[in-house]
Chains A and B, each alone.
Chain A
Amino acid sequence: MLKHLIGTAAATLALTALPAMAELKIGSIVELSGPGAAAGTNFRDGVKMGFEEINAAGGVLGEPVAITEYDSQTDPQVSRAMVQKAIDDGVVAITGTVFSSSTVVNMLVARQAGIPQFTGSEAPSITSMNNPYIFRTAFGSQKGIPKLTKYMAEEMGVKTVAVVWANTEFGKGGHTAFLDEAERLGFEIVADIPTEQAQTDFSADVVKLKGIQADAVFVYLTEEESARFLREVRKQGVQMPLVGDTTLTGHKVIELAGEAANGALGHVGLTPDANIPAMTAMVDRFKGQFGYTPDHNAIKGYVAAHAIKCVAELAGKADSQAIADRMHGLTLKAADCPGVLMDTSWDDSGEMSRESFFVEVQDGKQVVKAILPAN
Chain B
Amino acid sequence: MAELIQILISGLAAGSIYALAAVGFTLLWQASQTINFAQGEFVMLPGFFVLIGMALGLPMWPAVLFALVLSLLVLGAAFKKLIVEPMLPHGTLPLVIATIALGLLMKESVKEFYGATAQPFPAVFPQTVYNVAGASVSAQDIGNLIVSMLAIGGLQLFLNRTRTGRCMQASAQNPGVAEILGVDVKRMVLYTFLINAALATIASVLISPIYLAKFSNGETLGLVAFIAAIVGGFNQIRGALVGGLLVGVIDNLSAVYVSAEYRQAMPLLLLIAIILLRPQGLLGTKEGRAV
Contact = CB atoms under 8 A, between A and B. Distances in A.
A325 interface: no
> Taking each of A194, A201, A259, which has the highest tally of chain B beta carbons within 10 Å of its own beta carbon?
A201
Interface stretch (A16-24, A142-150, A202-210): A202-210
A73 to B, nearest CB: 9
B256 A208 contact: yes
A204 B141 contact: no
Interface string B108-132: 0001000111111000000101000
B118 A224 contact: yes
A193 B256 CA distance: 10
A207 B118 CA distance: 24
B79 to A, nearest CB: 25
Interface residues of B, number: 36
B28 interface: no
Interface in A231-253: 231-232, 234-237, 252
A331 interface: no
A196 B117 contact: no
> Taking each of B11, B117, B260, which has the highest tally of chain A beta carbons within 10 Å of its own beta carbon?
B117
A204 B255 contact: yes
A205 B7 CA distance: 10
Contacts, number: 95
B116 A37 contact: yes
A33 interface: yes
Contacts of B116: 32-34, 37, 41
Contact of B138 (A227, A236, A252): A236
Contacts of B252: 201, 203-204, 207
Interface stretch (B85-93, B185-193, B214-222): B214-222
B182 to A, nearest CB: 47
B140 interface: yes
Interface bracket on A: 35 or more
A33 B116 CA distance: 5
B209 interface: yes
A200 B256 contact: no
Given A200-B220, A203-B11, A204-B10, 16 more contacts: A32-B116, A33-B111, A41-B117, A194-B260, A196-B263, A196-B264, A200-B211, A201-B210, A201-B252, A203-B10, A208-B256, A210-B3, A224-B118, A236-B138, A252-B117, A255-B120
16 contacts: A32-B116, A37-B115, A194-B260, A196-B264, A201-B252, A203-B7, A203-B14, A203-B252, A204-B256, A204-B263, A207-B3, A211-B3, A224-B118, A227-B212, A228-B210, A255-B120
